[in-house]
């Protein structure tokens, strides 16, 4: 079917279309875990105008239901195709979960500041993810592995609640079998089939092998998890300037105009969501900021 | 769709040609009477402007569409104090003897509801069509200095950042401003503290100062732009005499002196950012009704939400932009709960934004001293008083430390 998005750039003085979704088609909706799924999308007509980078997000629109911020979880070299991994938690994410191959989805983006994958070349890289937080980190992992020789040690530490919540399990196993990457996984509570670590993910940092002076850490997960992870990294000697976290707030516009994502003087949608821990360490500790 | 916005803009720009060939120039002052004021309104209407001016509405003075000077609130005056607003009719012939009303220019440049696009669905697929409104250019009559400054603030926020609001920009480009210097103040005004009033100094096309005595009723008219010049150049107004200019100056001086409310800005941003644990937030939290009136009445508050709806059949959907308030609990909702659950934290967020973090974001304050948040707060919470309390705490603490060190 034809798209009839009318950008009318001539009539409208500037980029009003930042508020109008671009139509993508669902190529595949794959179930990852009991509550998480991955959408593979391709543009129906024109793709998003800007090339996206690891750590950026899009606003995904389910017809009539609403729009939510979701990080890009696929390989950014596959532009203009898009991959998003989503946990179904409420009205919009549930509607997205029920999309079938061929269905339309609205996309606005890409928004936000990316993980500094380029700028950290030459360093040891430690990626720490909690739960669905692995999804926004996956594009960074792909990009680092594409340029594997440009980095020192590469370590991925992942924590999930239970073994059945583990995201991208096959891929984790594949990465784990590589000789140029260290991967470790932990769960908060185990079951009979679990042979691995039990405990929270910051604990894995104490024993990981990296050069604290020359390491960049990319951390993504619930805010408390990121705080404890940053503390553990600090304890190992990694400076807060080299720890990157991705913050989450309510987002309606994604472009710094609606005020919903504001934290102190930051519009997290456009100034973040990726920050160095030193930029946000004090602020995130303030109650109800 | 009728005339497109682009075509409309062109039309306006042609009518208001940039090169004015007359002896008049920007900065000229005239003295006009009511009839002549009306002739300006007529000239604006001929140039296809809709006139928006102060009118008496539901016992308040509010901006609305007007046709002539007859629609202005003749003889009306206002009284405002924390939580209280009253209009009063007097026998006087004044047209602008009141201050800020219940709404501001924001309503016109940044409407409370605005449909961004509609989508139509055919089974699993849909298409989206942007809503391009067909706008008539507006001329705002009687805009006060604080509201003019508020427009300047919204310009910065909505049109000078990385992403821009095109509806606002469009409205703004075709806006004609007839400002008015205040001839009176109310107890909630603190424009003098914010450097925004009571007289207008720039960003207007024409500015009026009402000069009234027992026997005469005149207006000093100042020309502030080419657009303004173009409107008055054929109207053959008399130049203002020195006496009339002095009278106008006196009006402004008297108004300036009548303003008693103050907001001390010295290090206020630092004080606010350092006061997130202050007990005052809990105290305000108990009083505040979270009604959001302050944010709706504020001429600079720009927060909005995006609402997605469908028609009954589910085949067409709409996205609407609607003013939102950081005073609601849903505003900061994340799966699992809101970030700012307490009412006090929400007031703190709002006030700290207005007077501290706004400056870091936009190099200017988010407050213009119009006093609306004080007047329209049903429980009369007063931002200037809260600021003073916070300052006093810091001073007291510094004092205590100084004593300890002796
Ligand atoms: C920058 C960013 C990236 C994200 N990336 C991902 C991702 O890759 N995968 C994923 O599964 N989730 C991600 N999220 C979280 C996701 O946006 C929420 O789970 C989603 O908004 C919930 O919407 P809902 O309508 O299904 O839930 P409901 O609980 O019905 O939510 C109602 C409304 O609240 C708001 N809201 C609720 N929870 C959140 C939240 N956690 N974050 C922001 N707004 C919220 C939304 O506006 C939503 O429309 C991300 C959030 C942000 C801010
Ligand atoms: S401060 Fe006053 S106006 Fe603002 S939300 Fe609270 S009660 Fe309403
Ligand atoms: S999401 Fe609207 S300002 Fe950030």
Task: Indicate if B7 and B136 belong to the same structural domain.
Answer: yes
- For residue A118, tell me if it sits in a domain: no
Task: Indicate if B251 and B272 belong to the same structural domain.
Answer: no
Chain A environment of B285 (Cβ under 8 Å): none
What was the pLDDT predicted at B9?
58
Q: d(Cα B63, Cα B68) in Å, to the nearest integer?
A: 14
Task: Indicate if A210 and A275 belong to the same structural domain.
Answer: yes
Q: d(Cα A34, Cα A8) in Å, to the nearest integer?
A: 43
- Classify strands B113-122 and B125-130 as parallel, antiparallel or unpaired: antiparallel
Last residue of a domain, one of B226, B258, B290: B258
What was the pLDDT predicted at B377?
97
pLDDT digits (tens, 9 = 90+) for A197-229: 999 999 999 989 999 999 999 999 999 999 999
Whole domain around residue B287: which residue ranges?
268-397
Chain B environment of A5 (Cβ under 8 Å): 127-130
- For residue A119, tell me if it sits in a domain: no
Of the residues B4, B164, B366, the best mutation for testing chain A's interface (the one with the most A CB atoms within 10 Å of its CB) is: B164
B383-405 helix and B343-352 helix, angle to the nearest 10 degrees = 90
Query: Residue ranges of chain A with pLDDT lower than 50?
Result: 1-15
CATH of the domain at A78: 2.40.30.10
Cis peptide before A236 (omega within 30 of 0): no
Task: Indicate if B214 and B292 belong to the same structural domain.
Answer: no
- pLDDT band of B347, cuts 50, 70, 90: very high
Task: Indicate if A144 and A243 belong to the same structural domain.
Answer: yes
Residue A60, strand partner residues? A68, A107
**Ligand 1 centroid, distance to B325 Cα (angstroms):** 20
- For residue B111, tell me if it sits in a domain: yes
Least confident of A13-27, B215-229, B311-325: A13-27
Choose among B244, B246, B160, B144: nearest CA to B204.
B144
Q: Which residues line ligand 3 (CB under 6 A)?
A: A 251-254, 256-261, 267, 269
What was the pLDDT predicted at B246?
95
What was the pLDDT predicted at A48?
87
Whole domain around residue A56: which residue ranges?
3-111
Last residue of a domain, one of A84, A111, A138: A111
Task: Indicate if A158 and A274 belong to the same structural domain.
Answer: yes
Task: Indicate if B135 and B186 belong to the same structural domain.
Answer: yes
Chain A environment of B355 (Cβ under 8 Å): none
Count how many pairs of residues, chain A against chain B, have C-beta atoms within 8 Å. 162
How many domains does the structure of chain A reveal? 2
Q: Which residues line ligand 2 (CB under 6 A)?
A: B 288-294, 327, 347, 377-379, 381
Task: Indicate if B228 and B281 belong to the same structural domain.
Answer: no
Last residue of a domain, one of B211, B226, B258: B258
Contacts with A7 (C-beta within 8 Å, 6 or more apart), sequence order:
A16, A17, A20, B130
What was the pLDDT predicted at B406?
67
What was the pLDDT predicted at A4?
30
| Cβ–Cβ under 8 Å, residues A114 and A53 | yes
- pLDDT band of B336, cuts 50, 70, 90: confident
- For residue B298, tell me if it sits in a domain: yes
- For residue A117, tell me if it sits in a domain: no
Assess whether pLDDT exceeds 70 at residue B20.
no
Last residue of a domain, one of B205, B236, B258: B258
SS3 A193: coil
Cis peptide before A110 (omega within 30 of 0): yes
What was the pLDDT predicted at B21?
44
Task: Indicate if A251 and A272 belong to the same structural domain.
Answer: yes
How many domains does the structure of chain B reveal? 2
SS3 A129: strand
What was the pLDDT predicted at B75?
95
| Cβ–Cβ under 8 Å, residues A111 and A269 | yes
Q: Do B129 and A6 touch (CB under 8 A)?
A: yes
Mean pLDDT of chain B: 91
Assess whether pLDDT exceeds 70 at residue B18.
no
Task: Indicate if B228 and B315 belong to the same structural domain.
Answer: no
Task: Indicate if A16 and A48 belong to the same structural domain.
Answer: yes
Distances (CA, A) of B365 to A287, B102, B164: 24, 21, 20
pLDDT digits (tens, 9 = 90+) for A44-90: 988 888 889 999 999 999 999 999 999 999 999 998 999 999 999 99
What was the pLDDT predicted at B335?
84
Buried b or exposed e, range B222-259, using 16+ CB within 10 angstroms: bbbbbbbbbbbbeeebeebeeebbebbeebbeebeebb
Assess whether pLDDT exceeds 70 at residue B13.
no
CA angle (B161, B164, B165) in 5-degree steps: 140
Last residue of a domain, one of A111, A142, A173: A111
Burial of A276: CB neighbours in 10 Å, binned 0-12, 13-18, 19+: middle
């Amino acid at each position: 079917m034809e798209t009839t998005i009318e950008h009318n750039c001539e009539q409208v003085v500037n980029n009003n279309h930042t508020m109008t979704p671009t139509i993508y088609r669902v190529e595949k909706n794959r179930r990852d875990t009991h509550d998480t799924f991955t959408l593979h999308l391709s543009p129906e007509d024109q793709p998003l105008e800007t090339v996206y980078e690891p750590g950026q997000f899009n606003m995904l629109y389910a017809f009539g239901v609403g729009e939510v911020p979701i990080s890009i979880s696929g390989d950014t070299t596959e532009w203009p195709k898009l991959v998003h991994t989503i946990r179904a938690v409420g009205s919009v994410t549930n509607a997205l979960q029920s999309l079938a191959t061929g269905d339309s989805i609205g996309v606005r983006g890409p928004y936000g500041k990316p993980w500094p994958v380029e700028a950290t070349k030459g360093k040891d890289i430690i990626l720490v993810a909690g739960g669905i937080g692995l999804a926004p980190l996956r594009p960074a992992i792909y990009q680092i592995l594409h340029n594997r020789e440009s980095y020192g040690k590469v370590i991925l530490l992942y924590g999930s609640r239970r073994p059945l919540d583990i995201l991208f399990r096959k891929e984790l196993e594949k990465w784990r079998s590589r000789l140029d990457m260290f991967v470790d996984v932990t769960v908060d509570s185990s079951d009979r089939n679990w042979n691995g670590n039990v405990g929270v993910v910051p604990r894995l940092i104490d024993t990981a092998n990296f050069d604290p002076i020359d390491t960049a850490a990319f951390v993504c997960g619930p805010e408390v998890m990121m705080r404890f992870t940053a503390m553990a990294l600090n304890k190992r000697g990694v400076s807060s300037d080299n720890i990157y976290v991705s913050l989450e707030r309510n987002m309606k516009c994604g472009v710094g105009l609606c005020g919903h994502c504001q934290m102190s003087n930051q519009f997290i949608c456009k100034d973040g969501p990726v920050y160095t821990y030193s930029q946000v360490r004090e602020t995130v500790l303030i109650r109800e900021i | 769709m009728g005339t497109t916005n682009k075509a409309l803009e062109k039309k306006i720009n042609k009518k208001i040609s940039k090169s004015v060939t007359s002896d008049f120039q920007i900065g000229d002052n005239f003295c006009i009477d009511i009839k002549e004021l009306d002739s300006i309104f007529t000239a604006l209407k001929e140039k296809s402007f809709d006139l928006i001016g102060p009118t008496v509405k539901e016992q308040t003075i509010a901006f609305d569409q007007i046709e002539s000077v007859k629609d202005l609130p003749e003889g009306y005056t206002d009284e405002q104090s924390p939580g209280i607003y009253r209009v009063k009719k007097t026998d006087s012939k004044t047209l602008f003897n009141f201050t800020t009303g219940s709404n501001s220019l924001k309503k016109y440049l940044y409407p409370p509801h605005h449909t961004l696009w509609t989508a139509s669905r055919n089974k699993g697929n849909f298409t989206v069509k942007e809503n391009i409104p067909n706008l008539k250019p507006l001329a705002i009559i009687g805009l006060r200095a604080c509201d003019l400054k508020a427009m300047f603030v919204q310009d910065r926020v909505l049109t000078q950042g990385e992403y821009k609001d095109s509806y606002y920009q469009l409205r703004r480009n075709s806006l004609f401003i007839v400002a008015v210097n205040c001839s009176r103040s109310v107890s909630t005004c603190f424009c003098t503290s914010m450097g925004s009033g009571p007289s207008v100094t720039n960003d207007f096309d024409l500015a009026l100062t009402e000069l009234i005595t027992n026997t005469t009723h005149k207006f000093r008219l100042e020309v502030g732009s080419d657009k303004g010049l173009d409107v008055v150049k054929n109207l053959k107004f008399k130049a203002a005499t020195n006496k009339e200019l002095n009278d106008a100056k006196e009006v402004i001086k008297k108004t300036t002196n009548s303003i008693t409310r103050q907001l001390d800005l010295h290090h206020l941003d630092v004080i606010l950012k350092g006061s997130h644990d202050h007990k005052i937030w809990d105290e305000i939290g108990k009083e505040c009704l979270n009604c959001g009136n302050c944010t709706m009445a504020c001429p600079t508050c720009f927060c909005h939400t995006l609402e997605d709806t469908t028609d009954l059949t589910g085949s067409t959907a709409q996205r609407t932009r609607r003013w939102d308030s950081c005073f609601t609990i849903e505003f900061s909702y994340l799966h699992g709960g809101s970030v700012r659950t307490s009412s006090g934290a929400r007031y703190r967020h709002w006030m700290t934004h207005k007077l501290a973090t706004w400056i870091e974001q936009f190099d200017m304050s988010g407050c213009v001293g119009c006093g609306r948040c004080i007047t329209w707060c049903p429980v009369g919470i007063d931002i200037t008083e809260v600021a003073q309390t916070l300052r006093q705490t810091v001073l007291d603490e510094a004092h205590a430390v100084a004593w300890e060190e002796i």
